[in-house]
């Protein structure tokens, strides 16, 4: 299996621009998670989906952030408009949640820089 795929790996954009991050989970997994990692705040869960349905978006920082999962093999995280404080590494993770199995597999991340 190719693992969780994220694109782009690096994104540099100017303040005010729209940014879209993409994630392809591992085939067969039924849960998908978006995280943000910064030095100041560590690893934060932004939102997670189960069977393509958003279950918990309490970590989404504000209305400028939105996430979609139109099907089981694709998800996007959009920031519009972007701000310098959004600069971070964004990780996507997926898991097959069944019984006691909560193991998450992480993608390589997208490093976002907003200037």
Partner 1 sequence: AQSVTQLGSHVSVSEGALVLLRCNYSSSVPPYLFWYVQYPNQGLQLLLKYTTGATLVKGINGFEAEFKKSETSFHLTKPSAHMSDAAEYFCAVTYTGKLIFGQGTTLQVKP
User: Which of the ranges 20-28, 68-76, 77-85, 107-115 carries the binding residues for partner 1, by CB under 8 A?
Assistant: 107-115
Considering only CA atoms, give the Rg of the chain. 13
CA distance 34 to 60: 9
Is residue 85 classed as helix, strand or coil in its secondary structure?
helix
CA distance 29 to 51: 9
Residue 102 as a binder of partner 1 (CB under 8 A): the answer is yes
Residue 104 as a binder of partner 1 (CB under 8 A): the answer is yes
Residue 56 as a binder of partner 1 (CB under 8 A): the answer is yes
Is residue 84 classed as helix, strand or coil in its secondary structure?
helix
Residue 43 as a binder of partner 1 (CB under 8 A): the answer is yes
Query: Interface with partner 1 by CB under 8 A: which residues?
Result: 4, 31, 33, 42-43, 45, 48, 50, 56, 91, 93, 95, 97, 100-109
């Amino acid at each position: 299996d190719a693992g969780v795929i994220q694109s782009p790996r690096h994104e540099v954009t100017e303040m005010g621009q729209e940014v879209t991050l993409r994630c392809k989970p591992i085939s067969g997994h039924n849960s998908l998670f978006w995280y943000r990692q910064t030095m100041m705040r560590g690893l934060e869960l932004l939102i997670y989906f189960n069977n393509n349905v958003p279950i918990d978006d309490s970590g989404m920082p504000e209305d400028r952030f939105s996430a979609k999962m139109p099907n089981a093999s694709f998800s996007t995280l959009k920031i519009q408009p972007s701000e310098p404080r959004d600069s971070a590494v964004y990780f996507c993770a997926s898991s097959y949640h069944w019984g006691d199995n909560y193991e998450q597999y992480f993608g390589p991340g997208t490093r976002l820089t907003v200037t």
